Amino acid sequence: MNRTASKRAESKNVLVIACGMIAREVLAVREKLGFDHLEITCLPAEYHYYPDRIPPALDQAISQAKNRGYRHIFVGYADCGTGGDLDRVCERHGVERIAGPHCFAFYQGLDAFARMEEQDMMSFYMTDFLCRHFETFFLKPLGLDRHPELIPDFFGNYQKLIYLAQTEDPELEKVAKDAARLLDLEYERRFTGYGDLQKVLKSAAGTVNLPDSL
């Protein structure tokens, strides 16, 4: 395909620029909906720990996508601790993002999260991603694999670990239960599926018609 044809193809598609923490889920929703014209690129999941890196990285990613010919771009991030900076990037580029403060909210659904927010104030959330990468993304970065004596310092004010499950996976649930025991927290599992993610991606994908043949 020549460059002109490639530009035409990209202009017909929706590009989702997402957090690496939800990459698997975005792909799963795309497959479930059968939206082949929905493409995905991800920023590093580790930005979860460095939210100040998200807005400039997103700004660059959107600019690059526009230069490649994408006319329909959707941001697969909630605010994610950026204090509104992410919204300013989106407004500057004229793109939308997933509504809500973080993925724990949109997985539960914003209405459900709002109802439970006060009750969950002293709870630590885990998702399928955090269960899959518990050691490399959680224990090691916090140093708890080497210094478990720090657990009370990090988690002494929490009362419960809530596993927000996107899938029915006994192995992931075992990780969540083991984490609750390790952190000395009560355990609760809530099956959320993909929550609002499916709804917002369906809406984003609907901004263009399914691509016809070039």
For residue 61, the enclosing domain spans: 3-103+196-205
In the 8-state DSSP scheme, what is residue 20?
Answer: G
Q: Are residues 9 and 88 in the same domain?
A: yes
pLDDT tens-place string over residues 44-89: 999 988 999 999 999 999 999 999 999 899 999 999 999 999 999 9
- pTM reported for the whole predicted model: 0.88
The C-alpha atoms of residue 22 and residue 13 are separated, in whole angstroms, by 20
- H or E element in which residue 162 lies: strand 160-165
pLDDT tens-place string over residues 16-32: 999 999 999 999 999 99
Q: Are residues 87 and 170 in the same domain?
A: no
Query: What is the pLDDT confidence band of residue 7, given thresholds at 50, 70 and 90?
Result: low
pLDDT tens-place string over residues 78-117: 999 999 999 999 999 999 999 999 999 999 999 999 999 9
Q: Are residues 124 and 99 in the same domain?
A: no
Q: Are residues 97 and 115 in the same domain?
A: no
- Single out the residue of 193, 65, 139 nearest to residue 75, CA to CA: 65
Q: Are residues 75 and 177 in the same domain?
A: no
Q: Are residues 165 and 201 in the same domain?
A: no
Q: Are residues 127 and 71 in the same domain?
A: no
Q: Are residues 21 and 49 in the same domain?
A: yes
In a domain, 214, yes or no: no
Domain count, the chain: 2
- H or E element in which residue 184 lies: none
In a domain, 213, yes or no: no
Q: Residue 40 is part of a domain; what is its CATH number?
A: 3.40.50
Q: Are residues 96 and 129 in the same domain?
A: no
Relative orientation angle of helices 54-67 and 85-93, to the nearest 10 degrees: 10
In a domain, 143, yes or no: yes
In a domain, 211, yes or no: no
In a domain, 210, yes or no: no
